[in-house]
Structure 1
């Protein structure tokens, strides 16, 4: 379907006034990008030639029969009235910019060559700036086709951008809906508009929070385990010692500062007097369950993400609602020497509450004490005193970290390593 002639015809119809109201050119341009990745240049040449001829034909149609054709076009397709009016206005104000960036201006691109001809724009001027616009407009979709063929996973920055957008989709929708409400209110001249806007924005933000914790977090319960990472052989030097309050790395990191070797750290934590917490991603928590856990001073632990996965279990020492020690655990892989499972832990201390960006929303969470080494050393003393069957060690696996724009904690770089005592 997408051989050279088909690509040429598709790009031609996408640029020609009249047919371009119905023929989307993007599939043909993206297909040319696919072919380019395979080493075939003729597809790119075909869409550029088709777009050039379509633009030129639209220009000369407007030049010779512009006014009557414009009236017939509007009568035939009323939706063109607004783009034509906007295009005429922009052409008068900033004609060269419009000609150069027409293909980036949405529906206006349909009529720019035609209106340029109708307004008797010099052909040489139209051709020069129109060629720039053609290269920009066609080039962007050819590039996306090339990237899709190459594999988006080969471009981490694209994956990261996609993760950020998906993770923040409900916050973005709340902001968009609030701005739309403000725009409509200004047009209709509503009274007390700012107060109403504030209430709408606040309500949508609360809804985004509720949806995140009580609806969307449950999606992880139905996802398959990350078995490839969990069963892969891994050295402590290969592990990432940062966790994030979201799947994207735009958030400030929190410390991974404990390693546990063994089948499961649950027995050790309970032996030390820690209480296992519910988590939003691993447990089905309803509003009533949340209130009950608050009464017990064991509120659910908000999710941290290590390798874009939420913790598999979490524990806290007995405390109150504002101050508590807590740790989250993930399976990190298998030690190649002992063949034991390696668990990574993020241990820290909650010290009050704060408003903070978290996993695509803005919410109220516990404030983390930046001195994570203090909690690490405290856990090591507990293990020595109450779990003599475990051996503790401190290893320099991380460079020392100070408080900065990427970290909310500081550490000397030592990681607490907990292993079973060798049998005698």
Structure 2
């Protein structure tokens, strides 16, 4: 399916890009990241406009997030019960639930681009737990803008060399994720030590 979609980019460009990011945010198997890299390459070649590609990708993803949020808001318990019947989805939902429970705002933002496989499940969890819509939307818009900017911009910078762009971006995001994990762990250890010290003083 990926090759077929890529072949349609020159003809349907922006609409295809928006539709792909929209469906990918509903946990459907659409190659949104590859398509954004490709759109960036077409923009570098002058076949698409860079800012329009960015907007199309971001708007499609934001719309997908909203559908996921309101699906969770309206049908949360029933929908989540059915989804959890599949072990793979259950594991993803458990991770998304834990992420939302610890850091709601940051969970929404980082699940748009840094840990994007959790994004659709975070949307459902946020809606089902009645997480504030305004906070969800602001964090979601910022996250999707980051996602679209990274992939469309990298595709543009690599002038359509999708494989090289994908490898570089994957390595960079992996490094960011690793550094982020170390920072979070350090903060948790510092907070725990401080709490123990305060309790000792009491």
Q: In the TM superposition, what whole-angstrom CA distance separates every residue of 1:247-278 from its partner, at most 9, and x where no partner exists? A: xxxxxxxxxxxxxxxxxxxxxxxxxxxxxxxx
Using a 3 Å threshold, how does the CA distance of structure 1 residues 82 and 148 change in structure 2: closer, same or farther?
same
Q: In the TM superposition, what whole-angstrom CA distance separates every residue of 1:181-239 from its partner, at most 9, and x where no partner exists? A: xxxxxxxxxxxxxxxxxxxxxxxxxxxxxxxxxxxxxxxxxxxxxxxxxxxxxxxxxxx
Q: Distance in 2 between matches of 1:81 and 1:150?
A: 37
**Which residue is 2:103 aligned to?**
94
**Which residue is 1:27 aligned to?**
34
Cα drift, residue 36 of structure 1: 3.0
Report the aligned-residue RMSD.
2.4
Cα drift, residue 150 of structure 1: 6.7
Residues 33, 142 of structure 1: 8 Å contact kept: yes
Query: In proportion to residue count, which structure has more strand?
Result: 1
Residues 35, 43 of structure 1: 8 Å contact kept: no
Whichever of the two has the greater Rg, that structure is 1
Q: Distance in 1 between matches of 2:35 and 2:120?
A: 16
Q: Which has the higher contact order (CA 8 A, sep 6+)?
A: 2
Using a 3 Å threshold, how does the CA distance of structure 1 residues 86 and 34 change in structure 2: closer, same or farther?
same
Q: Distance in 1 between matches of 2:18 and 2:55?
A: 8
Residues 101, 136 of structure 1: 8 Å contact kept: no
Task: Structure 1: give runs of 5+ residues left out of the alignment.
Answer: 153-157, 166-424
TM-score (structure 2 length as normaliser): 0.68
Q: In the TM superposition, what whole-angstrom CA distance separates every residue of 1:157-187 from its partner, at most 9, and x where no partner exists? A: x9xx97xx9xxxxxxxxxxxxxxxxxxxxxx
Query: In proportion to residue count, which structure has more helix?
Result: 2
Residues 28, 47 of structure 1: 8 Å contact kept: no
Task: Structure 2: give runs of 5+ residues left out of the alignment.
Answer: 1-7, 172-202
Q: Distance in 1 between matches of 2:116 and 2:14?
A: 26
